[in-house]
Amino acid sequence: MKKPKSVDEYISGFPHETQELLEKIRVTIQEVTPQAEEVISYNMPGFKLQGMLVWFAGFKNHIGFYPRGSSAIIAFEKELSKYKTSKGAIQFPKDEPLPILLIKKMVKFRVAENLEQAKKK
């Protein structure tokens, strides 16, 4: 896939079923933080509000979700236990429903972190 210029272009480069999942995550993030700016960063869709909040990406067998840093993954460790995770990434299998409520909680957590960090500056 060539470097996308927009989130729409990024999503349109995937098969239909992957597009639906990516769009669902996109809309979920927008619902939680409508004031966040949608960007392409590291060749992936992401959202910024007082700095980067989260990224998401499509893969063959999963949707990657990347809350900036490891704090959200640590904070929601118990709820994420059924998913493959690493220090900064979560893999949501494409053959399972997306955990929309959990995604919302993690985005809210990241927004609060960024706003708190901005206050300190």
CA dihedral (115, 81, 61, 16) in degrees, to 10, reads -50
Nearest to 29 by CA among 46, 44, 42, 50: 46
- Two structure tokens written together for 14: 């995937």
- Whole-prediction pTM value? 0.94
Q: Is 109 exposed, middle or buried (0-12, 13-18, 19+ CB in 10 A)?
A: middle
pLDDT range class, residue 1, cuts 50, 70, 90:
low
Beta strands in the chain (DSSP E): 37-41, 44-48, 52-58, 62-67, 84-85, 90-93
pLDDT digits (tens, 9 = 90+) for 80-116: 999 999 999 999 999 999 999 999 999 999 999 999 9
Distances (CA, A) of 29 to 2, 49, 54, 87: 25, 12, 9, 21
pLDDT of residue 2: 76
Domain ranges of the chain: 7-112
What is 7-112's CATH topology?
Answer: Aspartate Aminotransferase, domain 1 (3.90.1150)
pLDDT digits (tens, 9 = 90+) for 10-59: 999 999 999 999 999 999 999 999 999 999 999 999 999 999 999 999 99
